[in-house]
Amino acid sequence: MVRVSGTTLTDWLRAREDETLAAVLRARPDLATPRPADTSVLATRAATRASVARVAEGLDTFTLAVLDALLAADADRGQVDVATIDLGVGPDRVRAGVDRLRDLAVAWGPDDAVRLVPAAREAGGLFPSGLGRPSAVLDVVDVPALLTALSDEERGILTRLAHGSPVGRTKDAATVPRLENAKTPIQRLLAQGLLTRVDAETVELPRQVGVAIRGAGPVGTLAVDEPVLRTKAYKAVDSTAAGATLEFLRHAETLLRLWSAEPPQVLKSGGLGVRDLRRLTKATEISEREVVVLVEVVVGASLVADNEAATPEYVPTTHCDTWLAATPAQRWATLAAAWLDLPRLPGIGGLRDAKERLLAPLSEDLRRPVAPLERTRVLRVLADLKPGTGVADPDELAALLAWRAPRRGGRLRDDIVRCTLTEATALGLVALGALSGPGRALLDEGTAPAAKRMAEAMPDPIDHVLVQADLTVVAPGPLEAHLAAQINEVADVESAGSATVYRVSETSLRRALDAGRTAGDLHELFRTRSRTPVPQALEYMIDDVARRHGRLRGGAAASFLRCDDPALIAEVAASPVAALLRLRRIAPTVLVSPLPLLEVLDDLRAAGFAPAAEGTDGQVVDLRPTGRRIQAPLRAVRRVAPRPPDDEQIADMVLAMRAGDRAADSKRGRSVSAAAGSGANTAETMALLQEATRTQQSVWVGLVDAHGVASQRVIEPLRVGGGILEGRDPSTAEIRRLPLHRITSAALVEP
């Protein structure tokens, strides 16, 4: 129980209205776990050092100044009149700051007797308002008169300490000489008591001197109001966000395809190596900083994981196949939700720490458990603006958040804001400095509504392409899924953006034929899907590649090659690659090799031939590897952050605390305890409850809930039986049913 000069925090909380207690639990959710049995438990938790420090982290600059001023007035040791607190901003503003501290149960009492919980001293810092500790020697001294007699050098020393840290380091603090023996300015100030010696190398400016030097501004320079955030209105926020989303999804697909074929190794110290990072940068054609964000989000979404093998690698998981089969909006929602909950800072990946060590992507160096909370704070500021309104300068947003919570974020506080905006823009949650509609939905409603909003923002899929005379295929927008798969099969991406340009080549055509397409299929694809005439050169190329494709066929013998044309078989057998592949003719139209078929086909293609693989039925088959997969480990699945209690749960807690208060205040008569393993005591408890039911007398019961949390309440018993005590709560008239096995003790309540 917290007590300072009379009334206690418990008494003050007990006298508050239910809504006030609910507001405390809402603002400080850590006080609600486990459920407080009564207001004395709530007061004890509210005064603990860890809880008060957590509150101080969320206070804005002005409220922290009010807290410091109260600490400077020793409000943690006794009552303080708010009217005596001078911050140079007027009494009404000071009272508003004090009321904020009261709402958080850090301060309590009326204006003429306000107090702070003792733990506020540690939360407020060693030097409240930047003022040192008071000196008893100066209590009977005219400090302003002493200051006027100082030299410019001596006054300059005191002024620097008054407007900065009140503690200074000096070699002149070894002793405190008499004034007549002092030789240096520091020694003269020590001799007059205007500085206090802490140790042989440290001095401290007494509070009385700091206040006298500051004069009209006893708390120094104070940022009373939060910085103004300049904003701009935009009309194309959602469409811009959708464009960024499509780009990010394309890069994610590139990563999965690349790592399916060649998974990168995990560094011995953990994380992704520089060589693999640069290889991915080259494949995606984006900056290394953007690739770090991409890698962290894809791994955070469980699409890729460490396989934890003897030589560990980052391998796509089975989740990635489901993800690739989903719609673009659903894929975005998965990645965006993973980023929002990611307990890491991708923005510092690739940088160096204070010891010049490289912070590798995916390493433990990037882990920051507070990252999701800080990320949400940034997005919440944007959510408070009107839809379509963006911030003009990220630095102004950083300054605003720094004013609102100067103690949060550490040395990376402002960098987190900038990184969050950059990452959110890449993911389509933010565009043009404004929170997008899908981003707002994800923040407030969840992934399903967010995916729906993103689907509405994305351009409608296009069912056609434009084939150019230079054998390029232009997709003027996102293609339908089936058409996109067909075009990717027959052409290679040459450039991407709002319009994607594909290049058709003999290699890409052969890839489509290897997958089982025929020349007729390819002609039909371009004829029906192109809004421009199909160039004759493309038609000739398709026919030429198809005519040569598959004339030479391979099978497993380990592998074989067959052809109806003996001259082609003879040409292959006489080529230099035949010796490398150890080809042997077993018939005029058949060659065999001990090497795997895929290796034989790849080397023949490199030598200028165009073989195709065939299955047991003689049909062309596609032997390209589909990529490696591993099962996603449980630890890689998206985490779910615990949620604070909702309004209904808080209301129940307040009612339970009120019941606990009444039980604590009740005068108890005959009592029994149902000790564990004692059948006699259980029988006595039943007898007492049945007696109270017959005589209609209130009973005090002690309970332990399913989580082991003890509580107490007063009940007017109505029925006992079936393992249940049914009774009426005297304060609310509600009927409550209490399991008898949860009752640890009971007592009759005397009038």
Say which residue, 705 or 627, is predicted with more confidence.
705
Strands 553-555 and 612-613: parallel
pLDDT bracket for residue 676 (50, 70, 90) = very low
pLDDT bracket for residue 626 (50, 70, 90) = low
Residue by residue, DSSP assigns 168-215 as: EE-GGGS----GGG--SHHHHHHHHTSSEEEETTEEE--HHHHHHHHT
Say which residue, 636 or 671, is predicted with more confidence.
671
User: In whole angstroms, what is the distance from residue 616 CA to residue 233 CA?
Assistant: 64
Angle at the Cα of 280 from the Cα atoms of 276 and 281, rounded to 5 degrees:
115
Check pLDDT > 70 for residue 697. Answer: yes
Q: For position 716, what pLDDT does the model report?
A: 82
pLDDT bracket for residue 177 (50, 70, 90) = confident
User: In whole angstroms, what is the distance from residue 46 CA to residue 128 CA?
Assistant: 21
The mean predicted confidence, pLDDT, of the chain is 83
Q: For position 734, what pLDDT does the model report?
A: 77
pLDDT bracket for residue 6 (50, 70, 90) = very low
Chain mean position to CA 643: 14
Are the beta carbons of 421 and 222 closer than 8 angstroms? Answer: no
pLDDT bracket for residue 615 (50, 70, 90) = confident
**pTM exceeds 0.75, yes or no:** no
pLDDT tens by residue, 711-727 = 777 888 888 877 788 88
Q: For position 293, what pLDDT does the model report?
A: 93
Q: For position 438, what pLDDT does the model report?
A: 93
pLDDT tens by residue, 39-77 = 888 888 998 988 988 888 888 888 888 888 888 788 888
Strands 430-431 and 434-435: antiparallel
Check pLDDT > 90 for residue 440. Answer: yes
